[in-house]
Amino acid sequence: MDFTPSQKTTSIADRLTAFMDENVYPAESSYHHHVETAVDRWTIPPVMEELKANAKGQGLWNLWLPQSDHGAGLSNLEYAPLSEIMGRSLIGPEVFNCNAPDTGNMEVFVRYATEEQKKRWLEPLLDGRIRSAFCMTEPEVASSDATNVRCSIDRDGDEYVINGRKWWASGALDPRCEIMIVMGKTDPSAESHKQQSMILVPTRTAGVTLVRPMQVFGHDDAPHGHAEIVFNNVRVPAGNMLLGEGRGFEIAQGRLGPGRIHHCMRLVGCAQRALEMMCKRAQQRVAFGKPLSEQGSVREDIARSACEIAQARLLTLAAADKMDREGNKAARDMIAMIKITAPMMAQTVIDRAIQLYGAMGVSQDTFLAEAWKYARTIRIADGPDAVHLMSLGRQLLKQHGAAKS
């Protein structure tokens, strides 16, 4: 396999790297200072809108969408290295309109929405004027098995009525969030994977209650956040149904495959930045009369980290390549592999960096603590490790179990 970046990717990567160096990294402290000192934590730091306007003006915008006229015309393989560059900063993806859950939701609109739905919601999302949320996980059931979803979507004349409770709806608390994609059951009597549907619910619809922000290791992740939401007799037009009743799983599979690639490459970027920080720290910090870089265990941690990052990067590029050549469904085993591998790798590498930085590593003075939290969270989000291991093991047994030795 040849994963040499295309000339187009290399050109964008060079511009993207320069933009990150000149604009994004220097803005991180201003962004976080606003969140921590603003009267209302759920307001958008002005520096973010400035960065977005700058990035859009330089043509570094909507890079993520493959096989579509709306994006930059890049394949998954071409986009993957760019996702790594943006992922080096936790505020980076939003600057270029390449952030979750909006990328996944926009992909849903591109693939499955009507022209009317696209005009109403996709266009402002592509322009970065609004944000969106994806409501799938529920507190009462094991949502790693989406057939457990209880939220009801019932037809009543020209409307659907939605009742249920969701949580971990990332982005729903963002003041710019105007639309939610909600997964629920339209026909509990149908076969297990045809019961679910996805429907569009404007955030300010009557009966929608944002109960609270969920905290991740004690942090609310403002101003983006992760909401617990109650839907109480929420009525939306029948035209808000996506693709048709019973098509929820089909939409979910089309949405989650690319999203997992994006998360994994962002995590590779986080880990690469942590490794570079480790090297600088080891050279500059002196303990017991010599630089930390002269400690054998420190060198070993740096070497192991470099190997693990390279392995995860190559595996993710291979998955992206297979998605491009054979489709998301054919690449599901590779996607499961990267989803298992990349978050754990990033968590491990970032943890080593934290250890090298000591008390500073767990503080707000570096990006390491927040990056570790991100890596740990993604081991649950978009399907927990155990589910991907189970699915991958089942597929491998089916493929090789009956083969003659």
pLDDT tens digits along 21-66: 999 999 999 999 999 999 999 999 999 999 999 999 999 999 987 7
Contact 132, 125 (CB under 8 A): yes
Contact 199, 235 (CB under 8 A): no
Percent of the chain past pLDDT 90, that is, above it, reads 89
Does the pLDDT value for residue 234 go beyond 70?
Answer: yes
Does the pLDDT value for residue 339 go beyond 60?
Answer: yes
Pick the CATH number of 249-400 from 3.10.20.30, 1.20.140.10, 1.20.120.530, 1.10.3720.10: 1.20.140.10
DSSP state of 219: B
Contact 239, 280 (CB under 8 A): no
CATH architecture of the domain with residue range 7-100+107-126: Orthogonal Bundle (1.10)
pLDDT tens digits along 190-224: 999 999 999 999 999 999 999 999 999 999 999 99
Least reliable range by pLDDT among 308-312, 359-363, 396-400: 396-400
Extents of the domains making up the chain: 7-100+107-126, 131-241, 249-400
Q: What is the mean pLDDT of residues 321-333?
A: 91
Instruction: Quickly state the pLDDT bin for 3 (edges 50, 70, 90).
Output: confident
What pLDDT score was predicted for residue 404?
61
> Is residue 223 reached through a cis peptide bond, with omega within 30 degrees of 0 on the bond before it?
yes
Pick from 55, 40, 191, 34: nearest CA to 128: 55
pLDDT tens digits along 74-101: 999 999 999 999 999 999 999 999 999 9
> Is residue 384 reached through a cis peptide bond, with omega within 30 degrees of 0 on the bond before it?
no
pLDDT tens digits along 266-295: 999 999 999 999 999 999 999 999 999 999
What pLDDT score was predicted for residue 405?
55
Does the pLDDT value for residue 154 go beyond 70?
Answer: yes
Taking the C-alpha atoms of residue 82 and residue 60, their distance in angstroms, rounded to an integer, is: 10
Taking the C-alpha atoms of residue 51 and residue 110, their distance in angstroms, rounded to an integer, is: 25
Pick the CATH number of 131-241 from 2.40.440.10, 2.40.110.10, 2.40.50.100, 1.25.40.10: 2.40.110.10
Average pLDDT, the chain: 95
